[in-house]
Structure 1
């Protein structure tokens, strides 16, 4: 062995213990979307990468996509019970469990997902997070661009829902479908194409990008072009996992569980949704319907009972529904995200 080789070996040996000590903790993050679509590639993955970078490698985030560790509706409990350290949760998949947060699901209230994400994060931290999600740490809010109604035939007004089976985005949308005389077909996002292809469902409320993410353009080629609803997922962290971190590592997580990060992760998804919408509009096999002002007002009127039902559900849990609703509208106004 040459003298240079010996010297190099000594240097590597000296730094080896430092390399081994650099990574202090590995956090397991579970989500239920395919790893190649925008919620993961433009939101979850960059967030995890930033955590690792900001911690100088002390925190590693191991991602388990596509329901590898559990079904989509189980993800909140997976985090709360410590089965995973971090979980991507759609609160709307568990009807009635998060009545305050369900306000974000009521259609025709918000029309911007990036500003809306910031508004929801700020509002929920004040009005609901401790009451409803107090057994986890809420990291960020992650809505898609306002979703639309995609169907096999024209639906421009609320009367068009009657008699149709529709896959709703979440529990509140399922209730809306029922109020309008339709039949909600509640399956997780990865199972929507099968439901449509088998005729179990005839329409779906989905973000624009989902048309390509889940290969639905042939199944539902007719689109209602209006900001129909939001579905705002949340990333939550097991409290024991957080408490077990060093103060230095807690600071990194705190910096990444913020209003600013909610806007950042939402921006990537919004960008992809808008690109998908433009692609759909350029496709001659796809049809777009823009509702008239009268039809928009009809949709709003049809959704009004959802607010009253929401108030009843919150009041039944001891919440001040009027104050919470006022706080939500104020937050949306503050961030210029109100419809």
Structure 2
């Protein structure tokens, strides 16, 4: 009997490390966009699933069923440990992440995948050393399809169509451009745009893509869509995790998660380009008219946007980064990977 008890004790002791190693670490991820929005549905949730697969189940990412914080509170909430993982719109991090605003600059973007790859590689090559987001561990970045101009009472085909109009815009570059054009601008995160647009308190809206307008339920309010070559902007986001929670993971699991984030996450944004193509076809079939800004309108927009690009170049210089070199690198990568 004593022998059997001793043998059992030895077996349990030997198995203890295996039981401990099999323990699952659960991370809580917050998505400030609705569960049905494409960012949550085809970007964030699949990434969370890949984390579990890459770590053989040792790390599980649970996506909160509803947002636990306002769009601008994602970074401080992760830093404080309210939740473990989140992503935030760079337009709400203009002071904390000045270099990453490169994706929001006018006339630099191509497709969601092209721009996402460009942003991640430019970050790695030129920005990571500055470590602007030092309070969290950056896992990846992604850029949505370029933003367009939505007319609610006909096409926006010139500066004159913006002057004196009330226009909703996402924060950042498009808001500055349309304001410089003489429009009265209502600025709010994309997740809050439906109220202003559905209530018809604005005459037009700008800054996000047709697929996002579809996901935000605003596309039906547009009679016309105007594309600008290179686009006025493209909404970009950074994905990050609490530093203590990251450090607590094993080296093997950190490497596995890094392998399916970063470049891999950027490459996966091809799925958003496919969604954009589908959303445009759907909108056209519903009667929305599509236009490309002509040479004169484009020239005027370039003139309005020039100070914005220069301001970013000035910020880059202050942070010790060759902004012009980084900008050319970004544009080359965006074009090569579209």
TM category (shorter chain) comes to 0.7 to 0.9
- Count residues in correspondence: 319
Q: Report the Cα distance in structure 1 between the residues aligned to 2:336 and 2:311, rounded to whole angstroms.
A: 23
In structure 2, the CA distance between the partners of 1:261 and 1:215, relative to structure 1 (3 Å rule), is closer
Which of the numbers 275, 278, 296 marks the counterpart of 2:278?
275
For 2:190, the equivalent position in structure 1 comes to 189
RMSD of aligned Cα (Å) = 2.5
Q: Report the Cα distance in structure 1 between the residues aligned to 2:86 and 2:138, rounded to whole angstroms.
A: 10
**SS of equivalent to 1:126:** helix
For 2:63, the equivalent position in structure 1 comes to 63
CA contact (8 A) 1:110 1:338 kept: no
For 1:238, the equivalent position in structure 2 comes to 242
Deviation string, structure 1 residues 178-218 (Cα, Å, up to 9, x no partner): 22222221222222111123343322222111232122233
In structure 2, the CA distance between the partners of 1:19 and 1:162, relative to structure 1 (3 Å rule), is farther
CA contact (8 A) 2:31 2:87 kept: yes
Deviation string, structure 1 residues 209-253 (Cα, Å, up to 9, x no partner): 123212223322221033332111121111111101112211212
1:1-339 correspondence to structure 2 within 5 Å: 22-66=22-66, 68-129=67-128, 130-153=130-153, 154-205=155-206, 206-226=208-228, 227-264=231-268, 266-284=269-287, 286-315=288-317, 318-320=318-320, 323-336=322-335
Q: CA deviation at 1:170?
A: 2.6
Q: Report the Cα distance in structure 2 between the residues aligned to 1:299 and 1:167, rounded to whole angstroms.
A: 17
CA contact (8 A) 1:112 1:337 kept: no
Q: Report the Cα distance in structure 2 between the residues aligned to 1:91 and 1:131, rounded to whole angstroms.
A: 15
Q: Report the Cα distance in structure 2 between the residues aligned to 1:337 and 1:80, rounded to whole angstroms.
A: 35
In structure 2, the CA distance between the partners of 1:208 and 1:20, relative to structure 1 (3 Å rule), is farther
CA contact (8 A) 1:102 1:172 kept: no
Q: Report the Cα distance in structure 2 between the residues aligned to 1:40 and 1:241, rounded to whole angstroms.
A: 22
Q: CA deviation at 1:279?
A: 1.1
For 1:5, the equivalent position in structure 2 comes to none
CA contact (8 A) 2:90 2:237 kept: yes
Q: Report the Cα distance in structure 1 between the residues aligned to 2:264 and 2:110, rounded to whole angstroms.
A: 19
Q: Report the Cα distance in structure 1 between the residues aligned to 2:310 and 2:77, rounded to whole angstroms.
A: 32
Structure 1 gaps, min length 5: 1-14
Q: Report the Cα distance in structure 2 between the residues aligned to 1:86 and 1:250, rounded to whole angstroms.
A: 14
Q: Report the Cα distance in structure 2 between the residues aligned to 1:157 and 1:122, rounded to whole angstroms.
A: 35
Q: Report the Cα distance in structure 2 between the residues aligned to 1:131 and 1:172, rounded to whole angstroms.
A: 23
**SS of equivalent to 1:35:** coil
